[in-house]
Amino acid sequence: MRAIDAGLVLCHECHQLNRQVPSQNEQPCSRCGAAVHGRRPNSLVRTWALLITAALLYIPANLLPIMSVSSLGQGQPDTILSGVIALAQHDMLPIAVVVFIASILVPSLKLVGIALLLYSVQRHQPMSVRQRILMYRFFEWVGRWSMLDVFVITVLVTAVDFGSLARIEAGFGAVAFASVVVLTMLAAITFDPRLIWDNTTLDADHD
């Protein structure tokens, strides 16, 4: 049984359960006064918009130089993938692994995972509640670490600056990638996980 079936709605600001007023689509929270809805308005539309924008920005994030690693005056701009290779060649293998996981593997999984979750909920695909919840918790959890690679690049740019001996500079790809990270984090926030249970209820009713 869902909380909304019992006439209760949750405030997303202070997490207070409120008794739903049937005649109102939006009502103030009894504790903090914030607007309370049975479900977040236009949750799927907003999440799709953020996700598509992030996917489009992910293209220049991978094609444009994200950083330049130079040693003894020699070096060239690198994309995310070539930057991983360059870091490995400069005996920075642990950092290369971190950048690969955080910049290539995790964003790709997150974009695909959110898209699959949205599609399954919107089109009532045959997926269990457990599968959908695990997918949602994964990209919600991984959002906490999404800025790790941007932080690594920032630290490298600040720490590795020895003039002509060794130097690392950030490129325009880093800006695009940081935008992708922020947009996917916002997509995770705008998605209402209660739609997963609504979707399951609808599927049960059809059966």
| C-alpha span between 161 and 169 (Å, rounded) | 9
Domain ranges for the chain, please list them. Answer: 1-38, 40-206
User: Taking 70 as the threshold, does the pLDDT of residue 10 lie above it?
Assistant: yes
Is the Cα dihedral 43, 48, 53, 59 positive or negative? positive
Please provide residue 32's backbone torsions phi and psi, each rounded to the nearest 5 degrees. -110, -10
Going by CATH, does the domain composed of 40-206 fall within 1.10.3470? no
| C-alpha span between 79 and 61 (Å, rounded) | 8
pLDDT at residue 206 in the model:
44
pLDDT in tens, 52-109: 999 999 999 889 887 776 666 566 777 888 878 877 887 888 878 877 887 888 888 8
pLDDT at residue 51 in the model:
94
pLDDT at residue 60 in the model:
92
Radius of gyration of the chain (CA): 22
